[in-house]
Amino acid sequence: MVGVGIVGIGSYVPPKIMTNEDLENIVDTSNKWIVEKTGIIERRISEPDVCTSDLAVFAAIKAMKMAKIKPEDIDMIILATSSPDVPLSSTAGITQNKLGCINASAFDINAVCAGWIHALEIGTKFTADNNYENILVIGAETYSRIVNWKDRSTCVLFGDGAGAAVLQKVEDGKGILGTWIKSDGSGANVIQIPAGGVRKSLSSDRFVEGEQYFQMNGRAVWDFAIDAMPEAVINVLKRVNRDLSEVDMIIPHQANLNIIKEGMKKLNLPMKKTFINLQKYGNTAGASVPIALSEAVSEGKIKSGDLVVTVAFGGGLAWGANAMIW
């Protein structure tokens, strides 16, 4: 039997740091409030000429280097993003061209903050097919361009970054064991950008200034996320016939420290079994899980043979988890 696993992983965040103190000069907020409510201290912001595809390229180069493969070895690029370079064509296609992956197909998926969880499942299924050898799964976001910098309830939360993984066939007993994903479209308006699509174009006489930016019902997200995180972890473990006590590390979506604490409490697991880096980067949406996974590996927090669960929740509403043996 042959499995599918991550053989290379990498991440990238822009060098420019925006602190909570910097935000105090932009909107009516405070470092104390942001830290207490979210755990975020700073985040990374892209320069004006840097796009989501650029962040994706930087992360992908690191993942391919670790996997010891060249761009032309990539058969497929799956890019999870909710902040694409342009409405069309795909940011994955733009990334493919910048990387020089001349033999790859490329497409985007949008499950907002749960995007990489979904992309990893899609990539796993394709990699198991004998027609594919190397698949690049990327989560990349530039939320600094889509948040409203006058909205203090949302602009303090987000940052930019990307994470990428190369999938290959691996020996049985290692790699991705399974995935559990779910959606609830009745909550689509909880996290949204109301204008800019065909429902309400920017040129429509129904367009209201501000609707081109990210909007979120914070209370509804909290109520959803504190249940979605443990639900996804429990269900993916059930699907792969593993017990919660076997888990070595949980890599959660880096949205809010208090949400993660509440989720771990509901799972009855100690915080030492999770990895947190949101204090440095804020919420990088669909990029947060691969960035955190990459850093946990590089810091030695995840070792060969560990049972790792990646879990995320976000707009759509969408949520889910992957279970893997590292």
Domain 177-325 is in which class? alpha beta
Residues annotated as catalytic are: 113, 253, 283
Q: Confirm if 19 and 42 have CB atoms less than 8 A apart.
A: yes
Of the pLDDT bands very low, low, confident and very high (cuts 50, 70, 90), residue 1 is low
Strands (E), the chain: 2-12, 17-19, 42-44, 76-80, 105-109, 135-142, 160-171, 175-183, 191-192, 215-216, 249-252, 307-314, 318-325
Q: Which two tokens stand for residue 262?
A: 């509440």
Contact present, 80 and 187 (Cβ < 8 Å): no
In the chain, what percentage of residues exceed pLDDT 90?
98
Region 282-294: what's the mean pLDDT?
98
Task: Please state the pTM of the whole predicted model.
Answer: 0.97
Question: What's domain 2-173's architecture?
Answer: 3-Layer(aba) Sandwich (3.40)
Residue range 145-154, pLDDT digits in tens: 999 999 999 9
Neighbours of 144 (CB within 10 A): 23
How does the average pLDDT of the chain come out, rounded?
97
Residue ranges of the chain that CATH labels 3.40.47.10: 2-173, 177-325
pLDDT tens per residue across span 169-197: 998 889 999 999 999 999 999 999 999 99
**Coil, strand or helix at 316:** coil
For residue range 4-33, list pLDDT tens digits in order: 999 999 999 999 999 999 999 999 999 999
Q: What percent of the chain has pLDDT over 70?
A: 100
C-alpha separations of 4 from 129, 180, 218 in Å: 10, 16, 37
- Distance between CA atoms of residues 229 and 249, nearest Å: 14
Lowest mean pLDDT among 23-27, 118-122, 204-208, 235-239: 204-208
